[in-house]
Copies of this chain bind each other. A is one copy, B any other.
Amino acid sequence: MGAKKPIRMNAFVMNTAGHQSPGLWRHPRDRSGEYNRLDHWTSIARTLDEGLFDAMFMADVFGVYDVYGGGPEAALTAGVQIPIGDPFVLVPAMAAVTEHLCFGVTGNISHEAPLSFARRMTTLDHLTGGRVGWNIVTGYLDSASKGHGQTRAAHDDRYAIAEDFTDVVYKLWEASWADDAACRDPDRGFTDPAGVARIHHDGPYFRLDAMGLGEPSPQRTPVLFQAGASPRGRDFAARHAECVFVAGPSAQVIAPWVADIRARAQAHGRAPDDILVFAEITVIPGATPAEAQAKHADYARYIDRDGALAMVGGWTGVDFSDLGWDEPIAYQENDALRSHLEAITTADPDTVWTRRTLADFAGIGGIGPVITGDAPACADALEAFMEATDIDGFNLAYAVWPESFEDFTRLIVPELQARGRYRTRAATGTMREQLFGAGPRLAPPHPASQAVSQAASKTRKTRS
C-alpha cells in the first residue's frame, strides 16, 4: 500500500458574522462581528497562508433563514448569516497579501447573468494569478428567490438551469479566445481578431450571442466546487465538480455519499480520484485534553439555540419553534433530518433528539462533527475520519474567529506535519496545479474541455 493521502484543508467562511456557530459572536474573544472591515479578511488570509491551508472556501446565501417561527427574528438576533456581504470583492485584496492561498467563491446561478458572471470570474483568475475556484450553487432559500422577484424553481429544474448556465460559461471561458489572441503584438494588434470566436448559445434557459469579454486567464475555467447532497445534485457534481464539499455529522453518514460521488464520476468517464472531497469539520484543540474540554464547554455557553434551529430550519424546511424544549423530535419523518441524525443515534443509542439537544448539536459547527482534544487526539480523529470516509480533506468551520483558525495552525498543523499527513511547504502555481498537480487548464473528459475543441475549430474557421 502507498503512502496515505495528505490531508487538505480549506477554511470554511462567509462574508458575515455567524456562519456555522450561531451566537458565538458573543464570546469575549470572538471577532466575527468585524466581518465588514477589510483588515478582518486580509488578516485571516495571512494566517491561513502561513498555516499552509489550501484555500479559503467562501459560502454565500442571498436570503434569510425565516422558516423557524415563520420569520427572520431568530436568524437576525443570532446573526445567522445575516447581515451578509458580497464574497467576490474580497478576493483580490486577500490575494494581494498572500503567496499561495486559493479562494473558492460561491456563485449562485439563479441570480447571475452568465456574461457578467463569466467576466467577473475571469477577472479574479487574472488578478489572483489563477488562485480562484467557483462553488456552483443553485440556491435553496425561498426568501432569496422572493428577493429577486422569482418563484423558486423546483429542485430538479434548478439543476437543469445549472447545466445550461455552466454550458454557457464554459463556452465563454474555453471557446471564445485562443490562447495567444490577446498577443499585444504591434504587428498583429492588441488582440488578433482571428483568435476570437463569437459564442452563440440558445439553451433552454439562457440565450447569448457574444464573444467572451475577458482574455484567457491562467485557468480559463476556475476550479469547480459543488456541494449537492441530493442524487440529482451528486450527479451534477460527478459530472462537473473538481472538488466536492459535503456536510454531515459523522463518518458513517458521509462515507456512502463519497463512494456514490466517486462511482458517479466513473460513470461519467472520470477517474474516482479526479474529484477531491472535503468534509465540514470544527476542531477545538487544547494543550491538554482537559483544556480542550474546558474550551468547548466555554464556547457552548454562547450557543444561541433559537439561532441554531433557525439555521437547521432553513436547511430542512422544518419549523422547530412550536416544540417544547425537551420534547422528542420526530426526526424520522423528515428526509434531511433523518439522513443526518439516524447515524448518530445508531452509533450512540443513548442520543435523544429534542429541540434542545438538536440546537446544542447544531450550535457549534452546524451539521458537521466537532472534534475536541489535545493535538494528538485531534489528529487521530482527523486521520480516522479520512480513512473511514475516503475524503481528501476538510472545510474547517470556525467556532470563535480568528481563534479557531489560529488554534488549528498552531496546534494541529505541526502534529499532522510530524505524521507526514500535511504539507510542510506551500504548493505553487494556480489553484488547479496546487490541488491536482495538473493544469492549469481543465482536461478531457471534463465537459468544459468539450468547449475547448469547439473553440479550436471555430478559431480555425475564422482564420481561413
Q: Which residues of A pack against B, CB within 8 Å?
A: 15, 17-18, 25-26, 33, 36-38, 42, 62-64, 71-73, 76-79, 82-86, 88-93, 95-96, 111-113, 115-116, 119-120, 122-124, 126-128, 143, 146-149, 177, 182, 184, 186, 188-193, 196, 206-211, 213-215, 217
Contacts and interface: CB of A to CB of B under 8 A. Distances in A.
A259 B104 CA distance: 50
B123 A85 contact: yes
B191 A26 contact: no
Contacts of A186: 26
Contacts of A149: 206-209
A78 B190 contact: yes
B62 A190 contact: no
Contacts of A207: 149
B86 A191 contact: no
A145 to B, nearest CB: 9
A217 B84 CA distance: 12
16 contacts: A38-B95, A64-B213, A76-B190, A77-B193, A79-B189, A84-B214, A85-B126, A88-B89, A89-B89, A89-B127, A92-B93, A93-B93, A93-B96, A93-B127, A115-B147, A115-B148
Contacts of A182: 83
Contacts of A123: 15, 36, 85-86, 89
Contacts of A92: 38, 89-90, 92-93
A78 B189 contact: yes
Contacts of A192: 76-77
Contact of A64 (B64, B83, B184, B211): B211
Contacts of A211: 64, 72, 82
Contacts of A93: 92-93, 95-96, 127
Leading 3 A-B pairs by shortest Cβ distance: A79-B190, A147-B210, A77-B189
A461 B89 CA distance: 35
A83 B111 CA distance: 24
Contacts of A85: 119, 122-123, 126, 213-214
Contact of A126 (B37, B64, B71, B210): B37
Contacts of A189: 76-79
Given A95-B38, A143-B210, A189-B77, A83 B148 contact: no
A91 B123 CA distance: 13
Contacts of A82: 191, 211, 213
A191 B119 contact: no
